[in-house]
């Protein structure tokens, strides 16, 4: 039997980083531009060998193997260069959480992650002076199977470990013994009663191979339940299931509900935007055309689900704080999923580029269906050669800072005087780009294709020399003729005689 070992630290504060590893950020489709944090109660501390309880009524208890930094001397307003000198030790930790309360906590993680025993640490400490903070390794096993592995190089971490110390010290004093949990790599998932989780931090390329040893935690089922008269009871949805398990597939969920079916996509690829626009207008929707945008290449057809990006008018102070580094524009492109169309609000301002060849290539590699911008396109010819459907107002060589500040994504935007919501259906061809509300997409696609078939039949009759009166659209005897022709097999249709 694995008996609990002493907890190697007694922190006054436990601060945890939301997202720090590229692999975890890419798994979730969003990368932070700056670190963000939450607090865990010191009473959540646990030791190697402890048993942790999954609360009654909950199903989504998940592990997160993490590197813990232990503060050795007080840090207040320290620089990045000084920060590591304030770290006494590193060790293994398991940032356990119950997703059944996560949405209700709205980012604070108070109930989901601060339960008793939900921060096991140890079993041993590694002297921070003996290791390179960019040469550590974190690994996690569940029931003996390796499920997580990550490092601390620039290729692994969005932010260096020392940055957390420096950043937090600008806001409050980090005191001796305080612990910073530095985020988890991809691979975190749900565990159930009976599972055994082991986490180890080591420095495999350092002489002597320093290691924290394996931090071992066993899961058991809890009893009782939360009194709804006192507080919130567990509540989950498919979004929480997906994030707890790590993917929709792992959670046993159907394909992404924001995606469109292959059948609907095929219909929309066949239907022209002119016909779709007419069907939307007949249903009372007139302002669905993204005005002023054209395909880079004639003959382009584009169908996809809208992901949105918004630029604000250029302002020097805001561009300084929001324009550089991993800004909203880069994050939006990195988060694209297969079949999505990135729609960019640039206020119909064509005198600055809103994307270039590198970002277009990133979208292409991620399987995006296209890009629409009511602004300019830099690297116009290289972007065209990438082969991704791109619709815009034309070429312009200037960078963002001349006219725009990248501001936010995944929100309602106005592109080319049309409102676009994330999840809307976007269709583009040589006539332009239109926006279709998701709940109408199937209906208007079927109606547009039916009208296309009718118009094709009418065109054949006109080509035969018939006048358009009563024929376009078909009425009376022409309508009867059309109904008969479309109901009859191809070989049994009537000739060109007018009714």
Phi and psi at residue 183, to the nearest 5° = 90, 165
Residue with tokens 């309880």: 53
- Residue 120 parent element (H or E): strand 119-120
Query: Which token pair is 152?
Result: 């601390």
Are 345 and 392 a contacting pair, CB within 8 Å? Answer: no
CA angle 31, 35, 37 (to 5 degrees): 115
User: Which stretches within 254-410 are classed as H helix?
Assistant: 262-270, 273-282, 316-322, 328-334, 357-365, 380-386
Whether the CB-CB separation of 134 and 162 falls below 8 Å is answered with no
Strand partners, 211: 202
What dihedral angle (degrees, nearest 10) is formed by the CA atoms of 155, 157, 162, 164? 160
Q: Is 378 annotated as a binding residue?
A: yes
Strands 61-62 and 97-98, sheet pairing: antiparallel
Q: Determine if residue 357 is labeled as part of a ligand binding site.
A: yes
Distance of CA 176 to the CA centre of its chain: 37
Please give the span between the terminal C-alpha atoms of the chain, in angstroms, as a whole number. 93
Token output for 355: 């994307």
Q: Are 117 and 218 in contact (CB under 8 A)?
A: no
Please tell me the distance from the alpha carbon of residue 248 to that of residue 259, in angstroms, as a whole number.
Answer: 13
What is the bridge-based pairing of β-strands 432-436 and 97-98?
unpaired
356 is in an annotated binding site: yes
Asked whether residue 431 is marked as a ligand-binding residue, the answer is no
Q: What gap in Å lies between CA 244 and CA 230, rounded to an integer?
A: 26
What SS3 class is residue 141?
Answer: strand
Using CA of residue 158, residue 164, residue 167, residue 171, what is the dihedral sign?
A: positive
**Is the sign of the CA dihedral 173, 178, 182, 184 positive or negative?**
negative
Does the annotation place 424 within a ligand binding site? no
Annotated binding site for substrate: 356-359, 378
Annotated binding site for Mg(2+): 379
Annotated binding site: 356-359, 378-379
């Amino acid at each position: 039997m694995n008996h609990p070992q002493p907890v190697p630290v007694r922190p006054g504060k436990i601060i945890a980083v939301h997202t720090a590893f590229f692999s975890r950020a890419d798994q979730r489709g969003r990368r932070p531009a700056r670190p963000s944090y939450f607090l865990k109660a010191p009473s959540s501390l646990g030791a190697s060998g402890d048993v942790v309880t999954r609360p009654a009524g909950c199903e989504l208890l998940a592990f997160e193997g993490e590197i813990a930094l232990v503060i050795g001397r007080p840090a207040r307003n320290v620089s990045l260069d000084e920060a590591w000198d304030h770290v006494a030790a590193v060790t293994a930790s398991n940032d356990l959480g119950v997703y059944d309360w996560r949405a209700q906590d709205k980012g604070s993680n108070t109930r989901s992650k601060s339960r008793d025993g939900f921060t096991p640490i140890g079993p041993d400490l590694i002297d921070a002076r003996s290791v390179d903070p960019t040469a550590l390794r974190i690994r996690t096993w569940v029931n003996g199977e390796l499920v997580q592995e990550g490092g601390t190089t620039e290729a692994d971490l969005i932010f260096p470990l020392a940055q957390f110390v420096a950043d937090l010290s600008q806001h409050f004093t980090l005191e001796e013994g305080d612990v910073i949990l530095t985020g988890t790599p991809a691979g975190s998932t749900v565990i159930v009663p009976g599972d055994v989780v082991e986490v180890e931090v080591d420095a495999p390329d350092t002489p002597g191979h320093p290691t924290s040893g394996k931090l071992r935690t066993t899961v058991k089922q809890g009893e009782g339940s939360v009194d709804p008269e006192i507080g919130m009871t567990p509540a989950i949805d498919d979004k929480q299931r997906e994030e707890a398990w790590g993917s929709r597939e792992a959670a046993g969920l159907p394909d992404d509900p924001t995606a469109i079916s292959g059948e609907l996509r095929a219909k929309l690829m066949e239907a022209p935007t002119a016909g779709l626009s007419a069907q939307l207008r007949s249903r009372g929707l007139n302002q669905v055309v993204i005005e002023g945008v054209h395909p880079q290449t004639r003959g382009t057809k584009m169908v996809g689900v809208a992901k949105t990006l918004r630029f604000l008018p250029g302002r020097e102070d805001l561009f300084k704080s929001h324009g550089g580094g991993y800004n909203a524009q880069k994050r939006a492109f990195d988060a694209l999923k297969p079949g999505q169309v990135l729609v960019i609000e640039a206020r119909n301002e064509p005198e600055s580029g809103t994307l270039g060849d590198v970002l277009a290539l990133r979208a292409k590699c991620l399987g995006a269906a296209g890009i629409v911008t009511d602004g300019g396109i830099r690297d116009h010819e290289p972007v065209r050669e990438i082969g991704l459907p791109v619709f815009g107002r034309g070429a312009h060589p200037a960078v963002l800072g001349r006219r725009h500040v990248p501001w936010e994504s995944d929100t309602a935007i106005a592109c080319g005087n049309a409102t676009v919501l994330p999840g809307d259906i976007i269709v583009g061809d040589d006539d332009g780009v239109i926006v279709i509300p998701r709940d109408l997409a199937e209906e208007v696609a079927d109606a547009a294709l039916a009208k296309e078939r009718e118009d094709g039949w009418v065109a054949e009759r006109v080509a035969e020399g018939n006048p358009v009166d009563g024929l376009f659209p078909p009425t009376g005897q022409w309508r009867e003729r059309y109904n008969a022709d479309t109901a009859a097999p191809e070989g049994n249709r009537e000739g060109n005689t007018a009714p």
